[in-house]
Structure formats: structure tokens, C-alpha cells
Amino acid sequence: MDHDQELQTVADHFRQEGYRWTPQRALIVRAAFATHDHFTADELLARSHEQDPRVSRATVYRTLSVLEAAGFVEGLDTGDGGRRFEHVLGHQHHDHMVCTTCAAIVEFHDPLIEERQEAAARQHGFLIERHSLRLYGQCKRCRASVQKRVGR
């Protein structure tokens, strides 16, 4: 799915749900989908401002919450109180490793883990709607630089 198609999908969803499709929302969604990275609300505001400095922070938050509810975007707690969002539409589900030193995010996926989650849920009569698996620690790069320091 290319970006224009995606944008169309989102626009359709907004209208179907009774939301209006405004230039601000188009601009914010375009900015959110521009790259597949993990952005904060503030970064999204900044990116939107590159296109039009009049877009307000409030509208960014309001749009993000509609996008999240619709599953176009997924929010991750960063652990330090903030949140980052990622563009999900058209991307395969995956989990995250978060570096506690440099905040780098590594994505991974393991079907066996997903399967065992389902099994655990079944055992408890629980119906999974979504899940979040995060590994916190040191990424390759940060481990390497620690070892260097320790080594000398």
C-alpha cells in the first residue's frame, strides 16, 4: 500500500466514523506516515509545523487519539513517562527492545511467543485484544562501549 492509498484509507475511516476530514488532519497523518519510525507527539507537531506552522499541539493530540483508537498508529510507553507512536497500517506486528542508555528501539517478532501468549490467555479464559512486549536493556552499540570502558 503506498502512502496515497494509506491516506485515502485513513480519510475514509474518519468519514465513516463521522469525523470530518480536515486539512490539518491530512497534514498530520501524512507527517505521521512519512517514515516508519517511533515519534513523540512533540516530534509530530514539529514535522507538521514544517508544512504549516499554524497546526496546534491540541490538534496533533486529538488526531493521534483517533488514529490510535482506529489502530492506524500504536502508542508505546517509553518508561520515562512519555509515549512514542508508530505507524502500524501496512506493517507487520512486532515487539520492541528499548535501550535504556541511548533509547534506540530494535524491532523483533517471534511467532512462537505469540502462540504461547494465546495459550496462556486461553488457559485463563482471557480474550486478547492487543499486547505489548518490551525488553529493556543495553543495545549492541551501548554494550560495546561499556565493555571498552571496563576493559581499560
Partner DNA sequence: TTACATGCAAATGATTTGCAGGGAC
Partner DNA sequence: GTCCCTGCAAATCATTTGCATGTAA
Question: Which residue ranges make up the site for a copy of itself (CB under 8 A)?
Answer: 77, 79, 97, 99-100, 106, 108, 110, 112-113, 116-117, 119-121, 123-140, 143
Q: Which does 137 bind (CB under 5 to 8 A by kind): a copy of itself, DNA, none?
A: a copy of itself
- Among 1, 50, 61, 113, interactor with DNA by CB under 7 A: 61
DSSP state for residue 35 in the 8-state scheme: S
Of 42 and 110, the one with the shorter C-beta distance to a copy of itself is 110
Q: Kindly state the cell numbers that stand for 75.
A: 502508542
CB of 129 to a copy of itself, least distance (A): 4
Q: Which long-range contacts (CB under 8 A, 24 or more apart) does 89-93 make?
A: 89/1, 89/6, 89/9, 89/10, 89/33, 90/1, 90/6, 91/36
Is residue 78 within 8 Å of 39, Cβ to Cβ? no
Rounded to the nearest 5°, which phi and psi values hold at 94? Answer: -155, 165
Residue ranges binding DNA (CB under 7 A): 15, 18-25, 40-42, 54-59, 61-63, 65, 81-83
